[in-house]
Amino acid sequence: MHQTVADLGERALIDRIRLRLPAQPTWVVLGIGDDAAVVEPVRNRLEVITTDSLVEGVHFDRAFAGPADIGHKALAVNLSDLAAMGAAPRAAVLSLILPASTAIADVDALVDSMAALAARARIAIVGGNIAASPGPLVVDVTVTGSVHRRRILTRSGARPGDELYVSGSIGMAAAGLRRLRADRTSTAPETFRYLRPEPRTRLGILLGRNRVARACIDLSDGLAEAVRQMAAASGVGALVDASALPIEPRSLSVQEAISGGEDYELLFAVSPKHRRRLAEVQRLSREVPIRKIGRVTGDRGVSAEINGTREELPSGFQHFSHP
């Protein structure tokens, strides 16, 4: 029978996790093992902090999301929030709430996958907490990042006349989830996008550093919701050109693609006078396509032009929302 966290105990589990993480960078003064971690802040930078959790039965289904998927995604969704602020990742703390029956091998896989993404994103996992769960597995991650004061990307800076851009493609994650619900063993490319979203860390930093974007938000709850949130925060409206949307797979309808969440792409607003700067960003982050999908308007409406008719954008996913 496999060994569980109940066989190992909390302190042995913490030691095991620590040994699976890479050596801490020199700016981590004190890592896992004391009452708290101690890190050096980045000089002359502001600190960005955000938290996000994955809850079994709500954000993932263990029937098709393995522990490595869960570990990756729990960090990725937080890195996506840092990217949307233009912040460089710095430190992460990991709160694991585990059923006593959780296999040690699953904890190992979760940690290894998170550590692999952390290494690529250059974020140090400096501490955390482990508790028992009488119910679902919960992975709660908090990350910090650093950003120059004048390079912060907020949701609220969009101005009428700005052009709206989106990175990558939209719809893949929603299509992947649908595939997995129909066939939990599916390995279609869109299932990978759903299970292992890639945060747009480099693009977010470039958009802030080069002062290209006036406003930015990530697509955690879908494109339509992101446009809504940016417009509301900026006190403007928006018009999306449905024919310009980078929808993948092509079989998705516009409604499906703009409503589907979890693509973790970036939506950002750029003044037309900064098109050259944007071209430079595109050159530097050439692995990520960027597509113009609409514009910011002076009225307060948020709509899409679909086959010549305007439709109001739908609202996105909310916890506890009515069906």
Q: What angle, rounded to 10 degrees, do the helices at 201-209 and 275-284 form?
A: 150
Per CB under 8 A, contacts with a second copy among 208-227 are 216-218
Residue 171's contacts (CB-CB under 8 Å, 6 or more residues apart) are 247, 248, 249, 252, 256, 257, 260, 263
* Of residues 50 and 113, the one with the C-beta less far from a second copy: 50
Residue 118 contacts a second copy per CB under 8 A: no
Residue 135 contacts a second copy per CB under 8 A: yes
Per CB under 8 A, contacts with a second copy among 304-323 are 318-322
Instruction: Pick one of 69, 140, 248, 262: the residue that binds a second copy (CB under 8 A).
Output: 140
Residue 158 contacts a second copy per CB under 8 A: no
Residue 132 contacts a second copy per CB under 8 A: yes
* Of residues 110 and 247, the one with the C-beta less far from a second copy: 110
Residue 133 contacts a second copy per CB under 8 A: yes
Tokens at residue 28, please? 């981590």
Q: Classify residue 161 as left (phi > 0), alpha (psi -120 to 50) or beta.
A: left
Residue 104 contacts a second copy per CB under 8 A: no
Burial classification of residue 315, based on how many CB atoms lie within 10 Å of its CB (0-12 exposed, 13-18 middle, 19 or more buried): middle
Residue 174's contacts (CB-CB under 8 Å, 6 or more residues apart) are 194, 222, 252, 256, 257, 259, 260, 261, 262, 263
Instruction: Pick one of 122, 131, 253, 300: the residue that binds a second copy (CB under 8 A).
Output: 131
> Per DSSP, what are the bridge partners of residue 50?
143
> Per DSSP, what are the bridge partners of residue 27?
none
Residue 245: CA count within 13 A, CB half-sphere: 29
* Of residues 142 and 255, the one with the C-beta less far from a second copy: 142
Instruction: Pick one of 20, 62, 95, 244: the residue that binds a second copy (CB under 8 A).
Output: 95
Burial classification of residue 251, based on how many CB atoms lie within 10 Å of its CB (0-12 exposed, 13-18 middle, 19 or more buried): exposed
Residue 152 contacts a second copy per CB under 8 A: yes
CB of 283 to a second copy, least distance (A): 25
CB of 82 to a second copy, least distance (A): 6
Contact between 49 and 147 under an 8 Å Cβ cutoff? The reply is no
Instruction: Pick one of 113, 144, 169, 191: the residue that binds a second copy (CB under 8 A).
Output: 144
Q: Is the peptide bond before 323 cis (omega within 30 degrees of 0)?
A: no
Residue 265 contacts a second copy per CB under 8 A: no
Instruction: Pick one of 119, 122, 129, 279: the residue that binds a second copy (CB under 8 A).
Output: 129
Q: Which residues of 106-144 are buried (b: 16+ CB within 10 A; e: fewer)?
A: bbbbbbbbbbebbeebebbbbbbebeeeeebbbbbbbbb
Number of residues that bind a second copy (CB under 8 A): 76
CB of 204 to a second copy, least distance (A): 9
Determine phi and psi for 277, rounding to 5 degrees. -60, -40
Residue 167 contacts a second copy per CB under 8 A: no
Residue 191's contacts (CB-CB under 8 Å, 6 or more residues apart) are 64, 176, 179, 180
* Of residues 309 and 318, the one with the C-beta less far from a second copy: 318
Instruction: Pick one of 103, 109, 116, 130: the residue that binds a second copy (CB under 8 A).
Output: 130
Residue 15 contacts a second copy per CB under 8 A: no
Residue 287 contacts a second copy per CB under 8 A: no
Per CB under 8 A, contacts with a second copy among 33-92 are 33-41, 45-53, 55-59, 80-82, 84-85, 87, 91
> Per DSSP, what are the bridge partners of residue 306?
309
Q: How many CB atoms lie within 10 A of CB 9?
A: 9
Residue 155 contacts a second copy per CB under 8 A: yes
Candidate segments 94-102, 106-114, 195-203, 251-259, binder of a second copy by CB under 8 A:
94-102
